[in-house]
Amino acid sequence: MAQLAINGGAKTIDRPLGKKWPIFDEREEQALIEVLHSGLWWRGGARGEQPSKVTQFEDAFAAYQDAQFGVAVTNGTTALECALKAAGVGVGDEVLAPALTFVASATAIALVNGIPVFVDVDPKTFNIDPDAMEAAITPRTKAAVVVHNGGYPADMDRIHALAQAHGITVIEDAAHAHGSEWRGKRVGALSGLGSFSFQAFKQLTAGEGGIVITNDQDLAEKAFSYHNIGRIPGRPFYEFHRLASNLRMTEWQGAILLAQLSRLDEQVATRERNTAYLAQGLREIEGVAPIERDDRVTRWSFYYWNFFYDQAGFDGVPRDRFLEAVRAEGAPINVGAHGRPIYRNPIFETMDNIAGVPVDFREVECPTAEHLFANVALSLSHTVFLGEQEDMDLILEAIRKVRAHVSELT
């Protein structure tokens, strides 16, 4: 008789795991009511002109990420665009970006008229591979977008050294990494500038939102100007200095984000505890494995938690077949690392110029990214790790069951 749920057997997990997202309580309610009654629903043209939740949040979040300056914006994509503009990226400038990430990490480059150069990833971390980065650098390389995929910090020692040696600005796309640390310092402003997303599913959210952070005052002033239609603080309100859009965050978002931030440390601690337990359990099952954490990753906060599938360890069963089976058991495991290599999206397959500069991405091939996406990458949402250890046991039980009955899948 069939044992696996996919073949009609009993399901291992019959309830949702972790916590329903988003999480909120009277802190968010009070903060929103406060904004409502204040009548100040936007920050205004400059910092410090009026009491502002956005300004408070910028300061609090920048400090949380060990940065001096923060510029809150509408979302993580515009945060990247704003950071790239502040870094001076323009027509024909090459910008390195990992092949495996959310598409915005590369479309933001093209949106500011830069040329994305897709770089392969490290099979042990899913992050941009510093050796491949080095090989991709040319005299036209202006910057690098470094994504901390699944919140796991990229090798910032190597990346910072490369950036210094070649005069490249690093933009950390930390959309998954609120609270992550490299060598005891929070990510985002470790090198040049960093961007974050506060979109609905992220571990810090206002439904939409983003921020640029940096320790460089000049870059911070440029980012502020680019987020505010090209205004410069101290100059007349109707005087514009840069070609720039309006990326300003509303006070509603600032209020929600301040409340969300008050919960983040506790949530990171719960996730760290549960992932350590799950990782240990995965090590004991043939065919799956966690990322083996580098000692320099002193805190790992994540949007989703990446781990590995090994087809050989599952008697040759393809990753996607395993996923169907384990999901049928009720374990909410997904394809990891944000799906296909991003140059495989129609937007890049059909793009033939960026601001008049000819491009052709059809021949791009990053073999490690292709293999990870197609055969290896697995992930679990951060919300799954906000529950009890019992939830981790259920996930392990579901995987063990599929492993024990793998012959039913062939």
Ligand X SMILES: Cc1ncc(COP(=O)(O)O)c(C=O)c1O
Tell me the catalytic residues: 202
Continuous segment of H or E residues that includes residue 93: none
175 lines the binding site for ligand X (CB under 6 A):
yes
106 lines the binding site for ligand X (CB under 6 A):
no
Shortest spacing between CB 393 and ligand X, in angstroms = 29
For ligand X, the binding residue among 61, 64, 102, 302 (CB under 6 A) is 102
* Closer CB to ligand X, 147 or 395, in the complex: 147
191 lines the binding site for ligand X (CB under 6 A):
no
173 lines the binding site for ligand X (CB under 6 A):
yes
Binding flags for ligand X, 193-222, as an x/- string (CB under 6 A): ----x-x----------x------------
105 lines the binding site for ligand X (CB under 6 A):
yes
348 close to 24: Cβ distance less than 8 angstroms: no
Q: How many residues bind ligand X (CB under 6 A)?
A: 15
* Closer CB to ligand X, 5 or 82, in the complex: 82
385 close to 356: Cβ distance less than 8 angstroms: no
Q: In this structure, what token pair is assigned to residue 275?
A: 């992932």
Binding flags for ligand X, 59-88, as an x/- string (CB under 6 A): ----------------xxx--x--------
Instruction: Identify residues 35-54 at the interface with ligand X (CB under 6 A).
Output: none
264 close to 178: Cβ distance less than 8 angstroms: yes
Distance CA 347, CA 345 (A): 5
Shortest spacing between CB 252 and ligand X, in angstroms = 16
Shortest spacing between CB 262 and ligand X, in angstroms = 21
Distance of CA 151 to CAs 207, 212, 280, 303, 305, Å?
A: 19, 17, 19, 6, 8
User: What are the beta bridge partners of residue 250?
Assistant: 42
Cβ count within 10 A of residue 35: 20
User: What is the identity of the amino acid at 120?
Assistant: D
* Closer CB to ligand X, 116 or 210, in the complex: 210
Task: Mark the segment that binds ligand X (CB under 6 A) among 6-14, 57-65, 171-179, 328-336.
Answer: 171-179
Q: What is the DSSP letter of 215?
A: S
For ligand X, the binding residue among 31, 137, 146, 147 (CB under 6 A) is 147
Distance CA 372, CA 361 (A): 20
35 close to 252: Cβ distance less than 8 angstroms: yes
* Closer CB to ligand X, 41 or 201, in the complex: 201
Q: In this structure, what token pair is assigned to residue 375?
A: 């055969």
12 lines the binding site for ligand X (CB under 6 A):
no
For ligand X, the binding residue among 104, 220, 249, 377 (CB under 6 A) is 104
Binding flags for ligand X, 380-399, as an x/- string (CB under 6 A): --------------------
Residue ranges with strand state E in 6-114: 69-73, 94-98
Task: Mark the segment that binds ligand X (CB under 6 A) among 49-57, 134-142, 173-181, 219-227.
Answer: 173-181
Question: Could you tell me the sign of the dihedral formed by the alpha carbons of 332, 337, 343, 347, in that order?
Answer: positive
Residue at shortest CB range from ligand X: 76
Q: In this structure, what token pair is assigned to residue 355?
A: 């601001």
101 lines the binding site for ligand X (CB under 6 A):
yes
Cβ count within 10 A of residue 234: 6
Distance CA 78, CA 226 (A): 10
Interface positions with ligand X (CB under 6 A): 75-77, 80, 101-102, 104-105, 147, 173, 175-176, 197, 199, 210
